[in-house]
Amino acid sequence: MQESKDKMPPHDPAVRRLLDGIPVQMLTAFAVTCITTAIWWWGLLPILRIEAVPLAVGTVILVIVLIGKAPFLLSVMVLMFGAFQMDQTFHWLYPLRLPFMSMAAASFAFIWHVLLAKTITPVWTRELKALLIFYSIMTIATFTAVDRNIAIADWWTFTKLVFLTFVLAWFPQNKKHIRFALAAVMCCGIVISSVAIYNGITRANLVELTRVAVGSGTFGNPNDLVVFLLFPLAISSALLFYRGGPVMTGLALICLPAVSWTIILTQSRGGLLGVLALFVVIGLYTVRSRTVLIISAILLAPLLYSAMGISNRVSGGAADIEQASAMIRTYAWHAGVRMAMDRPTGVGFGNFIAQFPNFTPVLVGGNYTAHSAWFQVLGEAGFLGLVAYVSLFICIVYTGFQNLKSFVILRASWEMRATGLATLASVLAFGVSASFVSFAYNWPLYTLAAMTTFLKRCADQESAGFYVDRDATDIGSRFQPSSARPSERTE
């Protein structure tokens, strides 16, 4: 099902002639050949470094083709190497600087397609506007920070993340892109989970002797790893409730148990609550009987707790008699409140850990993070920053509910309904898990904001009669399909 040509954004004739004149198949084949040759030369001539020439040439040509012809694939690269940080999972990818390369290519594509050629029309939704307001407040908190050096470094990283959020929100254009993005997210979840499960079996890279982790970056923290895996878990769960193709169903059947096993191995209490919230949201839209849903949730909670072995943890488990983990978390939350009360704009971007000893009610012999995204923002940006952050979260949730409602009423395709349900469930699960993880400025929430924006555009197109699928069905739906005339639909 394709978008009708008269509804596509206008293209500049010169741009169209330029893009149509590029022999994509030939250049792609040449780029792959150059990369293969470079790999061979890398092993043969490690001293002369001549192998870098074909690698660079092939990469540049491939990136030029993607910038001109397939900007969406660049957003997928940003998702894989930026959000899911595949280079941290496999350290042999790190020298390639793939996150930097994907961001640079996405920047050029953004300038070309959005600003110059105008082949991509920006869509301003309430969550993107709320994101800009929150970013503005964090910018003010950066320049009023206690330690500006720390604040500016973290602000610059956050600036890149906000820019890439707009890339992820605007580059996807149609239903095929949704399908590709779903597959990419599930593949990332499978790969990361495979490494985590291997580490758990071999007892390698464990935190606190029992908790599994992946790599030495963000995924080296089991709590952070769980937050990243909530989206693949939601997608694979939602896809099993909708009639999709065999490939997507097969990926979902692999991703769901792999990610679930990984979350169990992390022994994360915040992850446990996030998983419960995720399945409750999905169950509200897929299970007819509320009694069955409530009973299932009541039975699932103790089963997950027992399977995760949380009582065996060094911190927060049965051995933690003095409950030091819970007490430090309470002190951190108290410190966040005192930071906001003492400084209207907070202590500044990234300054929570450094300023913790100055605001904690009890000295605990170290610097600690906020252990909560909400208190992290409160301490670093003040009450105004917290209001902006909560408003951003509410906007994402509200738009997610509206998207899902529109997809059900219009009986949209299974990709849109599954993605809408998974995105909404992931946002609410993030809200629960983030209450115990300092993850206010990292990828998960902003990736979900971008996906929500894209689905909002799809929902608007659905209501205008673009992607309506007359044969689509929805579990438990009592709504009738859209009354758009057949002449207004596209095949």
pLDDT for 409: 81
Cα atoms found within 13 Å of the Cα of residue 273, Cβ hemisphere only: 12
Q: How far is residue 479's CA from residue 491's CA, in Å, rounded to a whole number?
A: 22
pLDDT for 424: 93
pTM of the model: 0.80
pLDDT for 63: 61
pLDDT for 54: 52
Neighbours of 206 (CB within 10 A): 15
Q: How far is residue 37's CA from residue 41's CA, in Å, rounded to a whole number?
A: 6
What is the residue whose two structure tokens read 């951190």? 332
Q: How far is residue 172's CA from residue 28's CA, in Å, rounded to a whole number?
A: 21
Provide the token pair at 429: 């699960």
- Which residues are CB-contacts of 385 (< 8 A; sequence separation ≥ 6)? 134, 137, 138, 141, 345, 346, 377, 378
pLDDT tens per residue, the chain (491 residues)? 444 444 444 444 544 444 444 454 544 555 555 555 554 444 444 434 444 445 555 555 556 656 666 788 888 888 888 888 887 777 777 777 778 878 888 888 888 888 888 888 888 899 999 999 999 999 999 999 999 999 999 999 999 999 999 999 998 887 778 888 899 999 999 999 999 999 888 888 788 778 888 877 778 888 888 889 999 999 999 998 887 778 888 999 999 999 999 998 888 888 888 889 999 999 888 888 888 888 888 888 888 878 777 767 665 554 444 456 778 888 889 999 999 999 988 998 989 988 888 888 777 777 888 888 999 999 999 999 999 999 999 999 999 999 988 888 878 788 888 999 999 999 999 999 888 888 889 888 999 999 999 998 888 877 766 444 444 444 334 333 333 333 333 33
Maximum CA extent, the chain: 72
Do residues 427 and 411 make contact, with C-beta atoms less than 8 angstroms apart? no
- Which residues are CB-contacts of 485 (< 8 A; sequence separation ≥ 6)? 465
Do residues 239 and 418 make contact, with C-beta atoms less than 8 angstroms apart? yes
Neighbours of 71 (CB within 10 A): 24
- Which residues are CB-contacts of 134 (< 8 A; sequence separation ≥ 6)? 385, 388, 389, 391, 392
pLDDT for 65: 58
Q: How far is residue 397's CA from residue 451's CA, in Å, rounded to a whole number?
A: 12
Do residues 468 and 412 make contact, with C-beta atoms less than 8 angstroms apart? yes
pLDDT for 236: 92
pLDDT for 142: 92
Q: DSSP for 114-146?
A: IIIS--S-----HHHHHHHHHHHHHHHHHHT-S
pLDDT for 415: 84
Residue 103, by phi and psi: left (phi above 0), alpha (psi -120 to 50) or beta? alpha
Q: How far is residue 151's CA from residue 348's CA, in Å, rounded to a whole number?
A: 6
Quote the DSSP letter at residue 221: S
pLDDT for 12: 47
Q: How far is residue 306's CA from residue 267's CA, in Å, rounded to a whole number?
A: 10
